A and B are shown apart, each in its own frame.
Chain A
């Protein structure tokens, strides 16, 4: 199972989804691509089949590297010419030197790590900026599943049942902001995306994002 395929969409189809249906689960890739400065050094942790790295190399001419847990994902990346190593976000980030990348990206992966706090701290150590995207567990549809139906959610974006999902550390947007504060990180940019894949208004209060944002993308600085 690919670490980056946690939102239910199988990662090998992520590219085609991006092209044909930008409003689907991996709309965060497009948003992330906009956040990355051209010609920068980027490490994508949990890079799946390399869809985001390819996109960034094409659009932003980045010098990209990736870490991916699944052999299938790594093989696809290497076969498409990306510099990707088979590795584990929980174990292998320690080997990267401080400030070795301009951006370290964790896209739809943090909820599948064993130690999200350690992983986030490592991202901030390795990269000048950490870009993190994740499914918002505070979204109203999830609250509906848990609060009213009394069941763990099985939605279009989170399609696996509780006993088979690799997503073991869900958080809400507010939870994530609290963790960033605890680590002393500065939120440079924050975005919430609604169910139709649209960016939500910047002026909206946190509670609104937390209730209606299906996914969130954060740019953090140390």
Chain B
């Protein structure tokens, strides 16, 4: 069957042409390499878009997989072709930086279900010739990790020196250590948890309902109408964005300050700076993200619960683990509060695993993992360097 939806409409729907013509390298997995999904079906063919930084050493022992968060992408340390902004972790990954690309070979792939070149709901289903939309099976964190493991294998790497990521990226890190315990030498899950709690599911549901309530969503087939549910997606992003900050940081940055006005407007324009800021966050987000992909990403996080796969015991999931762990939380993060991170630490203690745990004092909330926090950088640097010594990687 041929594609009968104009490419222009597809690109309008998906937010960018990266879904269809990725600017980055892409690993193709053919019909003979299906991905076994938790949903109980196989996905084939599929593809993962990825970037690499640094050089793989001869023994292939210096590879670090960086996992991105909910709305992140594989442009971790290079300019995004969609926004033109520097990579989301370019302050952490690079020559001489905490994840030193002079020493390590860094891989970052767009997650399965994403919208920057990896197979996701905006990708064309070869069987129908049109985007999967909601016909794509629900993707789980474990599915994302399975796909990454296939990519890592394709790159000829047997064991990853480290897997590192924050938030949803941290979930992937934890899943890696559980699914492939012998392929991860060191793990650095940041601002994350071993499950998504009820409050977080609640916020995700608000976001999804906002998307689906937008008439332009068209039951997930907006691409067929040359539309996209920008209003719904923007509201979803605005809600989520509040959860990434903290009350203290909001007060510090905005307080009750008014936006471009001296007095209250007695109307419903963005009187307050915080309103203006959130609207801006919502609007810029819809320019770069596919609405259906947002539904799939949030669902993947909601379904995440490692202990559930191990009879309710998180410690059992980590039993016998030889991986060196370092967990990092941020004191003002209320999306993945320190206690969620600490629960993982306790399970690792109970499994007698090697684990470090640092809580970084900051008022910047969950987003702190994307920001310049000197103590955070020191912790990454210290942990990765000591793991490198233990791994016998030369400095």
User: Chain A interface (Cβ within 8 Å of chain B)?
Assistant: 63, 65, 71, 74-75, 77-87, 92, 95-97, 100
A95 engages B349 (CB within 8 Å): yes
CB-based contact A83/B355 at 8 Å: yes
Are B382 and A71 in contact (CB-based, < 8 A)?
A: no
Residues from chain A with a CB closer than 8 A to the CB of B347 are 95
Q: Which of B273-299 contact A (CB under 8 A)?
A: none
List 14 interface pairs A-B (beta carbons < 8 Å), by A numbering. A74-B358, A75-B375, A79-B379, A80-B382, A80-B386, A81-B382, A83-B356, A84-B356, A85-B356, A85-B357, A87-B342, A87-B345, A97-B350, A97-B352
Instruction: Chain B residues near A82: list those with CB within 8 A.
Output: 356, 386
Minimum distance in angstroms from B253 CB to a CB of chain A:
24
Instruction: Judge whether B300 is part of the interface by a CB distance below 8 angstroms.
Output: no
How many residue pairs link A and B with beta carbons under 8 A? The number is 68
Residues of B within 8 A of A83 (CB): 324, 354-356
Contact of B354 among A65, A75, A96 (CB under 8 A): A65
Residues of B within 8 A of A77 (CB): 356
State the CA gap A128–B353 with chains docked (Å). 18
Do B381 and A79 touch (CB < 8 A)?
Answer: yes
**B-chain residues with CB within 8 Å of residue A65 when the two chains form the complex:** 354-355
Fill in one digit per residue for B369-395: 1 if any A CB lies within 8 Å of its CB, else 0.
000000100110111011101000000
A72 (CB) vs chain B CBs: closest residue:
B375
Interface pair A92/B352, CB less than 8 Å apart: no
CB distance from B120 to the nearest CB of A (A): 36
B346 surroundings in chain A (CB, below 8 A): 92, 95
User: A79-B381, A95-B349 are known contacts. Are A86 and B357 too (CB-CB below 8 A)?
Assistant: yes
The DSSP consensus for interface residues of chain B is: helix
Nearest to B327 among chain A residues (CB) is A85
What residue in chain A is nearest B349 (Cβ atoms)? A95
User: Could you tell me the distance between the alpha carbons of A80 and B347 in the complex, rounded to whole angstroms?
Assistant: 24
Residues of chain A lying within 8 A (CB to CB) of residue B356: 74, 77-78, 82-85
Q: How far is the CB of B392 from chain A (nearest CB, A)?
A: 14
Chain B residues positioned under 8 Å from A95 (CB to CB): 346-347, 349-350
Q: Please name the residue on chain A nearest to B324 by beta carbon.
A: A83
Q: B357 — which chain A residues lie within 8 A by C-beta?
A: 74, 84-87
Chain B residue nearest to A93 in the complex (CB): B349
B326: interface (CB < 8 Å): yes
Q: Using Cβ atoms and an 8 Å threshold, which residues of chain B touch A78?
A: 326, 356, 358, 378-379, 382-383
Contact yes or no, B386 A71, CB < 8 A: no
CB distance A81 to B389 under 8 Å?
A: yes
A97–B379 alpha-carbon span in the complex (Å): 27
A100 touches B358 (CB 8 A): no
Among A63, A75, A78, A82, the one with the most B-chain Cβ atoms within 10 Å of its Cβ is A78
Separation of A63 and B322 alpha carbons in the complex (Å):
13
Is the pair B345, A81 in contact by a Cβ cutoff of 8 Å? Answer: no
Shortest Cβ distance from A84 into B: residue: B356
Contact mask B147-183 → A, CB, 8 Å, 1/0?
A: 0000000000000000000000000000000000000
* CB-CB under 8 A for A81 and B354, given A75-B378, A95-B346, A95-B349: no
Minimum Cβ distance to chain B for residue A39 (Å): 15
Measured between beta carbons, the chain B residues less than 8 angstroms from A97 are 350, 352
For the complex formed, measure the closest distance between the CB of B354 and the CB atoms of chain A, giving whole angstroms.
5
Encode B66-97 as 1/0 by CB contact (under 8 A) with A: 00000000000000000000000000000000
Which residues of chain A come closer than 8 Å to B355, judged between CB atoms? 65, 83, 85
Inter-chain pairs besides A78-B383, A85-B345, A85-B356, 11 sampled, C-beta below 8 Å: A71-B375, A74-B357, A74-B359, A78-B356, A79-B382, A80-B382, A81-B382, A87-B345, A87-B357, A92-B346, A95-B349
